[in-house]
Structure 1
Amino acid sequence: MNACVTSFAVSCESEYRTGVRTLQREQELNRFLAEVEKRALRIAEISLRDRDEALDLVQDAMIKLARKYANRSSGEWTPLFYRILQNAIRDWHRRQAVRNRVMVWFGGSGNEDNDYDAVAAAPDPKGRTPDELLQSREAMQGLEVAVGELPTRQREAFMLRTFEGLDVAGTATAMGCSEGSVKTHYFRAVRSLRESLGEHWQ
C-alpha cells in the first residue's frame, strides 16, 4: 500500500514538473515571437511590397515554428524561423509569377495595386529640423527601395545580416546555403547598394 502511494506521489510530482517545464517553454517561445515579429514583418514587407501578404506570411511562419520546432533549443529558433519565412517568401513569388503569366495570357494585369508604399512613416526624431527629417526619410526610403530591387538571394543575405543581425552561420541556416554563399551574396548586395545609393549610403 505504501509503495503504491509513493509511486503515485512520484508520478504526480513528475507530471507537475513536466507541466511547469512545458509552460515555461511556451512563455519563452511567446517572448521570442513577440521580439522577432516587427523585424520579420519589415523584412517580408520589403520583399513582397504588400503589407497584408507580408503579415500573413509572418504569422504562418510563427505557427509553423511553434508546431514543428518548439522543443528545439531557443538558440536555434531565430535561424529556423527565418528559414521558414524565406521559404514562404520564395513560394509567394513563384505563385505570383505564375499568376502574372496567366493574367497576361488572358489580357489582364498581374499586379493592379500600384499605389502600395512599402515605407512606413517613421516617427519624428527629436532634435531634427524639418530639412534633416526629410533627408533622413528620403535616405531610408531610397535604401528600402534599393534593397527591394536586389536579386532574391542578395536581398535575403543583406536583410538577415543587417536588419535581423544574424551572424554568417545563422544566416546560412536561415537561407539553406553555405556560409561562403552567404558571404558572397552579402558582399554583392553591399556593393550594389553602394553603387545605387551613392551619397545616401552610410
Structure 2
Amino acid sequence: MASRKEMADFLQSVERRAFKQALYAVQDENNALDIVQDSMMKLADRYAHAPAAELPLLFQRILQNTIRDFYRRSKVRRFFITLFSALVPARQEDEGLDPLEVLNVESDETQTNPETWLARKEVSQLIEGAISLLPNRQREAFLLRYWEGLDVAETAEVMGCSQGSVKTHCSRATHTLATILQQKGVTL
C-alpha cells in the first residue's frame, strides 16, 4: 500500500513527463494540463490503497484513458458546434494567443557550455516537433516504451492492445522519427 508521501513523490516525479505526453496528444497546453491534473486526481482518489510498485502502470492507463475521453468529448463538441453554428449569426472575436513560450532552463543545463546547451535544445525541439507529427497510437506507444521506460507487456496493457501491436507501433514510430530527423540534418 502506497503511503501519502509515496503517492506525492510519485506524482511529482511523473508530472512533467505526463504533461508532455498530454501536450503531444492534444496540442494545447491548457487542455494538457487539465488532462494531467484530472489523471492525478483519479489516481490519488481511486488507487490510494495500491502498492507503490503498481502506481506507474495505473497512472499511465488513467492518463491514456483521460486523453481518449478528451478526444471523444471534443468530437461531440465539434459536431454540435458545427451543427448549431449555422443558426448563430457570425461575429468577430479576437482570440489571439501569444505564440511565445517561456523557456524552462534546468539547473544542470545552466552550468554547461552555452554552445552545447543550445545544440541540445535545438535537437530537443526537433525531436519534440517530430514526435508531435506521429499518428496518435504510434506516439502513445513510443512515449510509453522509450520515454516512460515501460516494457512491451506493460505498454500493451496500458494501451489495451496486443504486444505485437505495440512492437509494430514502436517500429513505425522510430523509422518515421529517424527519417524526419535525418531530413532536418540530425545524424543518428
Same fold judged by TM-score > 0.5? yes
Quote the residue 1:128 is aligned against: 113
TM-score (norm 1): 0.74
Higher helix share: 1
The structure whose Rg is larger is 1
The percent identity for this pair of structures is 43
CA positional deviation for 1:116: 4.8
Choose which of 155, 158, 166 in structure 2 pairs with 1:182.
166
TM-score (norm 2): 0.79
CA positional deviation for 1:98: 3.3
Q: Which runs of 5+ in 1 are unaligned?
A: 1-21
RMSD between aligned alpha carbons?
A: 2.6
Query: Is the aligned partner of 1:87 residue 2:59?
Result: no
Choose which of 24, 42, 46 in structure 2 pairs with 1:64.
42
- Where 2:167 maps in the other structure, the secondary structure is helix
Quote the residue 1:144 is aligned against: 128
Quote the residue 1:45 is aligned against: 23
What is the alpha-carbon distance in structure 2 between the residues aligned to residue 84 and residue 134 of structure 1?
35
CA contact 1:146–1:193 (8 Å) conserved in 2: yes
Choose which of 138, 154, 157 in structure 2 pairs with 1:170.
154
CA contact 1:49–1:116 (8 Å) conserved in 2: no
Q: Which runs of 5+ in 2 are unaligned?
A: none
Quote the residue 2:179 is aligned against: 195
Runs of 4+ in structure 1 off by over 6 angstroms are none
Distance 1:85 1:60, change over 3 A: same
